[in-house]
Structure 1
Amino acid sequence: MSVAGTNYARDDGVTGISSDILRAVCERAQVQCQQILRFPWQRVYQQTLDDADYGLFSTARTAEREGLFKWVGPIASNEWVLFSKGDSSIQLNSLDDARRYRIGGYKGDAKTQFLLDRGLEVQTALRDSENVKKLERGQIDLWMTSNQAGRFVARQKGLEDLRVVQKLQNALDSLRAEGALRSIEARY
């Protein structure tokens, strides 16, 4: 999003479900919050780590990030998916099947890191909207994103014909079976 040629938006210019929820929370808590949407994500993430006067929303709460922030949430659920173009013939039975395809992700994003941690190659973009263009042009075969936000970003860029190829259900099921999710679930 840009305002008057800049690479950020402020307060009323920041829109969406997470920003609306945050406004309601700040109002109820009687805390003055200024919302600023900036890019690239990695810079904003680092600024939040470096400066105690900054907060970050929305970001995935992962085991690696747990000790880095004081958390409030969750404010939304986030279903991670791999999208392909609607006319794609790609079929995945497991996350491992995705290894043979070109995958696009968002630099510094937990979903992208999830794939990298499992040894998958991911082409990273500074803005997730760049992956929509790459998918349309055939520069990537799969786009790692969240279901709701990904569809929203794609619609904004004029791409409506998407297909969910893999919902990472196998990965979720295996993490749950290993007990790796118990500590996360216990916090909520």
Structure 2
Amino acid sequence: MIHPSRPRRRPGPHALLLFCAGWLTAVLGGTCQAAAANPVDLYLPDAPPLSMPGPATGHGIVGDATLKAAALAGVDVNLILQPWPRAQLSVRDGSNHLIIPLSRTPDREAHYTWIAPIMSMDRAFFSLGAPVDSFEQARKTYRRIAVGMGSAQEQKLRDEGFADGQIYPVKIGENPAQLLLLGRVDAWFNGVPETRYIWRGVSDRPLQMSPPLMNTDLYLACSRVCDAALVQRLRRVIEDLRNDGTLKRIADAYLDETSGSLAK
């Protein structure tokens, strides 16, 4: 539940505080409590092991870290699952909406309030054939590359000059691993921990990986218009969780090996 560090400024603030704290609490207390209990919307994709909306097996590395930080900060959250491009627009154009796991990239920088990094993530090309070692080689080798729609890695391919026909955007939550197995795409450009997590549940065929060719921090972010007290409270708690090793323990619980390093 959100507990602002000081009451919001409204007409007649001293009178309102007296009403809520004094003998008129019985009359107005319900209204004050209801306002304080409003949850903050938290947008996330179904992108294991980073974030998962379902409660059965946890909410993923960034999801679990965010929910733990929110609980410690006294912030009640309402989980919202939307297609990733729409979720980004909802948060960007709204106010006081949270979103995870959002890569901090130059094209997004001005559109969000960046609360704190949870972890950093490498991206690479994955294929069933011989791996490439550069973007240049990938442009020459792959006819069609699966990539998450609206993701930072989709934008990276466009920035690196890949033709529109080479880029095959898929909705986050769909299974590009199956597309790779069926030969509908030649490669998959994606985060290392997410790809390894998904692949082990799909096939035991060897999956070839290029060297990491992209790295960004995955953030808990907020709308550009975001309550400063909320931002500071969450930022402080996440740093505490980083310093006491909690973030690393959460990541280790999902990953068999270190395929994503914690942001420093």
Q: State TM-score, norm by structure 2.
A: 0.55
Deviations 1:148-175 (A, max 9, x none): 011112234x134322123217x99xxx
- Write out aligned runs for 1:95-134 (5 A): 95-100=135-140, 101=142, 102-120=144-162, 121-127=166-172, 129-134=174-179
- The aligned counterpart of 2:99 is 56
Deviation at 1:72, TM superposition (A): 1.7
Is 1:27 equivalent to 2:71 in the alignment?
Answer: yes
Deviations 1:18-77 (A, max 9, x none): 1110011112211112223x2421111111112214211001001111111111221011
- Work out which structure has the larger RCO, using CA pairs closer than 8 Å and 6 or more positions apart in sequence: 2
Unaligned runs of 5+ in 1: 2-7, 173-187
Q: Which has the higher strand share?
A: 2
Is 1:76 equivalent to 2:116 in the alignment?
Answer: no
Distance 1:152 1:124 in 2: 20
Deviates more, 1:48-57 or 1:62-71: 48-57
Deviates more, 1:61-70 or 1:46-55: 46-55
Deviations 1:106-156 (A, max 9, x none): 111001110111111311111253311110111111101100011112234
Contact 2:146 2:185 in 1 (8 A): yes
Distance 2:131 2:212 in 1: 12
Indicate the RMSD between aligned Cα atoms, in angstroms.
2.4
Question: Percent same amino acid at aligned positions?
Answer: 25
- Note closer, same or farther for the CA distance 1:40–1:91 as it changes in structure 2 (3 Å cut): same
Deviation at 1:97, TM superposition (A): 0.4
Is 1:93 equivalent to 2:133 in the alignment?
Answer: yes
Distance 2:154 2:79 in 1: 25
Contact 2:133 2:210 in 1 (8 A): no
- The aligned counterpart of 1:146 is 191
Contact 2:176 2:188 in 1 (8 A): yes
Distance 2:198 2:115 in 1: 25
- The aligned counterpart of 2:256 is none
3-state SS in 2 of match to 1:123:
strand
Distance 1:128 1:115 in 2: 20
Q: State TM-score, norm by structure 1.
A: 0.76
Distance 1:21 1:9 in 2: 13
Contact 1:105 1:128 in 2 (8 A): no
3-state SS in 1 of match to 2:195:
helix
**Which amino acid in 2 is paired with 1:72?**
I
